[in-house]
Chains A and B, each alone.
Chain A
């Protein structure tokens, strides 16, 4: 039996007495299209940060491809195929869109530390980054500094950088956050074209997007898994309505 692309076992995080992630058992299968939902403050982003190693966990473990990576620093987990995007744009604002992606491709190929060969001489890296921009319909903005392009397109650069890492597991932290609803279609298009073998976990508040994209959904409430199932099961689950969907009606 093959191991899941990503797995957490009893993963926990507490700040003093405050438990923000509570013994989460979670499996992300290969090629999964999985969504993590839950009310504000449920600990979704914390869960992502624990998986990537951005913050240290308190107990439990994280497995990538069946191997325990809990003790590894962020960069080692990235090298093992874990890519992520950020809820708040985390880009290189003064660099061009193309350079933003080149940076990721260059690191993935292990060339980021090269001291003397000009970065420009690695045409293969730049070509690969540019191809990615074309796929994400960002090629027109290739030379513009990231801070000067529209917010919705900056969200696409977030995804482009993560894809430049050719991850086996991609964690998308609210890819459509702050994007006007008219433009979310663009992001959904890009997500629909992600390679089939890539395991994708998405955190999203836009339920429309979640139900169109995800084939499995996990509901996180107060740092613990409430339930997991297919979109239909989640929609039908009265507990989910109570804590999550019901709450939205009061917004």
Chain B
């Protein structure tokens, strides 16, 4: 390629692809907003931590659903496993939070790999039903094992040591918020690396055309199981954060309801874009907070209505709309 070529073409196609993983300035926006929330709304940090946890949870689903195209209604199984792992460790004397995050990731990831190796032999509706079956089985197991999990009363007696031995989890949730933000930053970086890696691109390939991926020699099922396990591990970290910051684990961390909620969040924000989770989770959580105050009985109806509108008129979610606008007015 000559220098002249480089000047005549705006960006050479090879450069365009070679630079596609570089950071762009809009990617700083979520982090500025997270920092601004900490400074401007100190009394909302408890809700803020919940939002950050849901962002992380939805980010893990984006890897599985948005990139790999695995449609699942059972993603809360991994969130719940992570929550119970961290919760049980802390209730039995392992009070150091960061190592417990790793433990939660390992447990959820291992379960994701094992269950994925079985259910990812199927696809379509069968797979959807199997993901639902897995989360239902796990929920029932947690319910029945009440001597360990506390059952319907929830898991109590969680004690968390100060973060890094120095920062107490205070009443205002400042430490918890910063802790969640820091973990989210690390996990975002990991997931971002993943989706821009050849592995991540091949997941997109599998989603776009599985037949062709077979025909170019890609081990399709192994890739899917790997993606499913990594998504499960990240979801487990989100669940562990939830257990640690609220110091309580209720049965609803493993539920169809939570699986559906995180799916709705991702669809709102826009799946397969890495940032759909960052857009969808705050909107969903704030809408839930407001709607449940305005209309405590039927608030979920309004969430449903919003979902119908998004699916009918904005297939790519909110970020999809933003892309559409940018294409029209470049």
Q: Spell out A's residues near B (CB within 8 Å).
A: 52, 54, 74-76, 78-79, 83-84, 86, 90-96, 98-99, 102-104, 106-108, 111-123, 126-127, 130, 139, 142-143, 161, 164-165
Decide: A95 near B200, CB < 8 A? Known: A74-B214, A120-B19: no
A205–B264 alpha-carbon span in the complex (Å): 48
Chain B residues whose C-beta falls within 8 Å of the C-beta of A121 in the assembled complex:
18, 21
A103–B22 alpha-carbon span in the complex (Å): 19
A113–B198 alpha-carbon span in the complex (Å): 6
Chain B residues whose C-beta falls within 8 Å of the C-beta of A78 in the assembled complex:
215-217
Q: How many residues on chain B are close to A (CB under 8 Å)?
A: 35
* Contact yes or no, B219 A75, CB < 8 A: yes
A8–B201 alpha-carbon span in the complex (Å): 35
Chain A residues whose C-beta falls within 8 Å of the C-beta of B17 in the assembled complex:
96, 98-99, 102, 119-120, 126
Of A111, A115, A142, A161, the contact of B216 (CB 8 Å cutoff)? A161
* Contact yes or no, A119 B217, CB < 8 A: no
Interface centre among B13, B198, B219, B226 (most CB of A within 10 A): B198
Chain A residues whose C-beta falls within 8 Å of the C-beta of B216 in the assembled complex:
78, 103-104, 107-108, 161, 164-165
Q: Spell out B's residues near A (CB within 8 Å).
A: 13-14, 16-22, 193-194, 196-202, 204-205, 208-209, 211-220, 222-223, 226
Of B13, B198, B205, B208, the contact of A98 (CB 8 Å cutoff)? B13
* Contact yes or no, B209 A106, CB < 8 A: no
Decide: A92 near B208, CB < 8 A? Known: A104-B216, A112-B218, A114-B197: yes
Of A74, A94, A106, the contact of B198 (CB 8 Å cutoff)? A106
* Contact yes or no, B211 A112, CB < 8 A: no
Smallest beta-carbon distance B123→chain A, Å: 16
A87–B6 alpha-carbon span in the complex (Å): 37
Decide: A90 near B20, CB < 8 A? Known: A107-B202, A112-B199, A115-B194: no
A94–B315 alpha-carbon span in the complex (Å): 15
Smallest beta-carbon distance A76→chain B, Å: 8
* Contact yes or no, B18 A126, CB < 8 A: yes
